[in-house]
Structure 1
Amino acid sequence: MRVAIVGGHGKVARALIPLLAERGDEVVPLVRKQEHADELRGPGVEPRLLDIEGQDADAFAAAFAGAGAVVFAAGAGADGRADRKRTVDLGGALKSIDGAQRAGVQRFVQVSAIGVDEPVPDDTGEVWRAYVEAKRDADAALRASDLAWTIIRPGGLTDGPATGRVLLGTSVPRGEVSRSDVAAVIAAVLAEPASVGKQWELVAGDQPITEAVAAG
């Protein structure tokens, strides 16, 4: 299948791309800069340019043309501005959902964050509050859509190696998980029809990923 990845130059996306390409999927990483497209292009990987903040849902739909699935893996990252949490983490997700519907793409996997439905303490900083609210609202919008969605809510992300083992469930204790294992879970989810309509939290654990996804 052809898989379009929003936030295609992010760390999770860069771990996901080879997993999909190696199993024969066509991968379309969506990136803002031409140099990022040039860096990612390879066998089975054909990047397209997309400005998440500057372009509208029609542009997203055009970028998704021909795809069988969309993965939303974008985020403002370490940027310390609350407004970018709203324009990237929320606005980008909303335009991706809209764009997928316009393009006729049903399968949609979204990377969120653990615990974002929990109340935010009154003393929470502006940027973190904006991040949590953006992820929470993006997830709510996806759940309310008619897409065949799966939401993955990882714990604290690390750059550690892939272990191939995780703890996955509707609610799990907070912890960390490597971006490589998050990518492997996304790949497994895309291959598992029973994952549609599931919202899972994800941290490092002991269960092999394919078993965890199948059992979830």
Structure 2
Amino acid sequence: MNIAVVGANGRIGKQLIKLLQQNEEHSPRAIVRKKEQAETFQNKGIQSSLVDLEGTVEQIREGLDGADAVIFTAGSGGHTDSDKTLLVDLDGAVKTMEAAKQAEIKRFIIVSALQAHNRENWNESLKPYYAAKHFADKALEQSGLTYTIIRPGGLLDEPGTGQVAASENLSRGSIPREDVAKTVVASIAEEHTYNRGFDLTSGSEPIEEAVKNIG
């Protein structure tokens, strides 16, 4: 499958591109917003498209054309104001869903945040971020796309263990970004993840098994 990774220059995105490039069943396309980012990926032999998530749905669709699936892992970043969170994490995600439908792409995976579906458990200091994730996820559920919503806990830059906990509800926890990326890749063709969302933290179950056994 040709997989469009939106937010490919982010820390999870870069892990995804690397894993997809190594995977014989998939080929990645890096969806990025800066020319120098696109050139960096192209120099590594990776197809890339320039897309501004604050642009139009049509412009995003052009960047997705030819893809078989979309992974949305873009974000405004931890140093931006709430307006950018609204425009990128929420509206950018929804426009990408609309663009995928226009491009007749059925498969869509979004990286959300632990317990984004439960308002009562949102981090008080990150409420705008959680609200953006919550409503982007809701839009995806109602989009008609074959979706998977992956809600990881606190993100770590340490090496992955390959062992996770995946469940519709997990109270708290953290996880290396590498293991998030591996779970995303394992979910692409795993029908047990279709049209459902789940929390994800480090745990004791191998990733390939965890995505088959989400409860």
Q: Which amino acid aligns with 1:180?
A: E
For 1:49, the equivalent position in structure 2 comes to 50
Q: TM-score, normalised by structure 1?
A: 0.94
CA gap 1:57/1:123 in 2 versus in 1, 3 angstroms: closer
- The 8 Å contact of residues 154 and 177 in structure 1, kept in 2 or not, is answered as yes
Deviation at 1:75, TM superposition (A): 0.7
- The 8 Å contact of residues 166 and 204 in structure 1, kept in 2 or not, is answered as yes
What secondary structure sits across from 2:21 in the alignment? helix
For 2:62, the equivalent position in structure 1 comes to 62
CA gap 1:41/1:141 in 2 versus in 1, 3 angstroms: same
For 2:140, the equivalent position in structure 1 comes to 142
For 2:109, the equivalent position in structure 1 comes to 109
For 1:92, the equivalent position in structure 2 comes to 92
* Residue correspondences, number: 213
CA gap 1:122/1:64 in 2 versus in 1, 3 angstroms: closer
Q: Distance in 2 between matches of 1:156 and 1:4?
A: 25
CA gap 1:37/1:118 in 2 versus in 1, 3 angstroms: same
For 1:155, the equivalent position in structure 2 comes to 153
Percent identical across equivalent pairs? Answer: 37
Q: Which amino acid aligns with 1:63?
A: G
Q: Distance in 1 between matches of 2:122 and 2:206?
A: 39
Deviation at 1:44, TM superposition (A): 5.7
For 1:173, the equivalent position in structure 2 comes to 171
- The 8 Å contact of residues 115 and 121 in structure 2, kept in 1 or not, is answered as no
Deviations 1:118-148 (A, max 9, x none): 33689945xx221111000000000011100
For 1:78, the equivalent position in structure 2 comes to 78
For 1:21, the equivalent position in structure 2 comes to 21
Q: Distance in 2 between matches of 1:207 and 1:122?
A: 26
Deviation at 1:173, TM superposition (A): 2.7
CA gap 1:122/1:103 in 2 versus in 1, 3 angstroms: closer
Q: TM-score, normalised by structure 2?
A: 0.94
Deviations 1:62-105 (A, max 9, x none): 11111110000001121230101100100111111000000000
Q: Distance in 1 between matches of 2:122 and 2:201?
A: 26
Q: Give the unaligned 5+ runs of structure 1.
A: none
Deviation at 1:39, TM superposition (A): 1.6
Cα-Cα RMSD? 1.7
Deviation at 1:192, TM superposition (A): 1.1
For 1:32, the equivalent position in structure 2 comes to 33
Q: Give the unaligned 5+ runs of structure 2.
A: none
Pairing 1:186–2:187 present? no
